[in-house]
Amino acid sequence: MAASKAPQLTRAGWLALAQSAAVRDRITEGDGLADVQAIPRVLARRSSLDWDEAVAAVHMVYGWMPTKLRTIQTPAAEREHLLAALAAVRRGELLDDAQLGLVECFANRSIVGASKLLYALNPVTYAIWDSRVANAFLWSSVSRETYATRARYVEYLATLHEWVTDDEIIRQCSELRALHPALVDASDLRMVELVMFLSKAADGAKHAPNEWADECTE
């Protein structure tokens, strides 16, 4: 089954992408990078999130996406569990499957949307997951049914956490941050993800697409 296939991108493959002129040029051009970085900075100003702030945060994230955020229907009985999960995210904890499922349901029942909310709340621990990243990390033209699952996101996140302990990847991330002032405080996890996203920018495009506005279907 396609869903059981292992990711095709290796550590060596990522390093090759990170050193490519195309990716580095797109980082230097930097369309949208400052705006993307502003979202986690704003959310970091709150020491904790209440329900209204959590709702505002997911609307902030979806404001960049082509998919409309449906009316949030999290039952009152689950709201405290959701807020506890978001608090754990902000503390740098990795969510278990049940907690991740709560966030996924909250974010339009979309693991893509959930990943962008998690990134916004803690860009050191969580990374964005969407169609372009999946096409780089898994394989070209991967189907939504294959990549848009919690299991695939957890697999991706675990791999990135392993990669950012590698000295050469750390060095490359430092070099890439220096290419654009908006990335001065970007985490290594963020830089690893950004390379994958930009490696799948449209062929021949003058500017890189904005990753917050990438595909986020239910």
Higher per-residue confidence, 11 vs 214: 11
Amino acid 204: pLDDT = 42
Separation CA 139–CA 81 (nearest Å): 35
Amino acid 65: pLDDT = 81
Does residue 69 contact residue 62 with C-beta atoms inside 8 Å? yes
pLDDT band at 215 (very low <50, low <70, confident <90, very high): very low
What average pLDDT score do residues 205-214 get?
49
What average pLDDT score do residues 87-109 get?
97
Does residue 37 contact residue 186 with C-beta atoms inside 8 Å? yes
The percent of residues in the chain predicted with pLDDT above 70, rounded, is 91
pLDDT band at 66 (very low <50, low <70, confident <90, very high): confident
Does residue 137 contact residue 156 with C-beta atoms inside 8 Å? yes
Read off the amino acid at residue 123: P
pLDDT band at 213 (very low <50, low <70, confident <90, very high): low
Separation CA 26–CA 105 (nearest Å): 33
If phi over 0 gives left and psi between -120 and 50 gives alpha, with beta otherwise, what is residue 141?
left
* C-alpha triplet 200, 14, 44: angle, nearest 5°: 80
Does residue 200 contact residue 135 with C-beta atoms inside 8 Å? yes
Q: What is the pLDDT of residues 154-203, one digit of tens each?
A: 999 999 999 999 999 999 999 999 999 999 999 999 999 999 999 987 44
- pTM for the full model? 0.90
Mean pLDDT, the chain, whole residue set = 90
Least-confidence region, from 20-34, 150-164, 201-215: 201-215
Residues 28-31: contacts with CB under 8 Å, at least 24 apart? 28/179, 28/180, 29/207, 29/208, 30/179, 30/180, 30/182, 31/207, 31/208, 31/210
Does residue 128 contact residue 211 with C-beta atoms inside 8 Å? yes
Q: What is the pLDDT of residues 4-27, one digit of tens each?
A: 789 999 999 999 999 999 999 999
What average pLDDT score do residues 145-152 get?
96
Amino acid 29: pLDDT = 92
DSSP letters for the chain: -GGGPPP---HHHHHHHHT-HHHHHHHHH-TTHHHHHHHHHHHHT-SS--HHHHHHHHHHHHTTSSSPPPPP---HHHHHHHHHHHHHHHTTPPP-HHHHHHHHHHTTT-HHHHHHHHHHH-TTT-----HHHHHHHT-TT--HHHHSSHHHHHHHHHHHHHHTTSHHHHHHHHHHHTT-GGGTT--HHHHHHHHHHHHTSPTT-SSPPPGGGS----
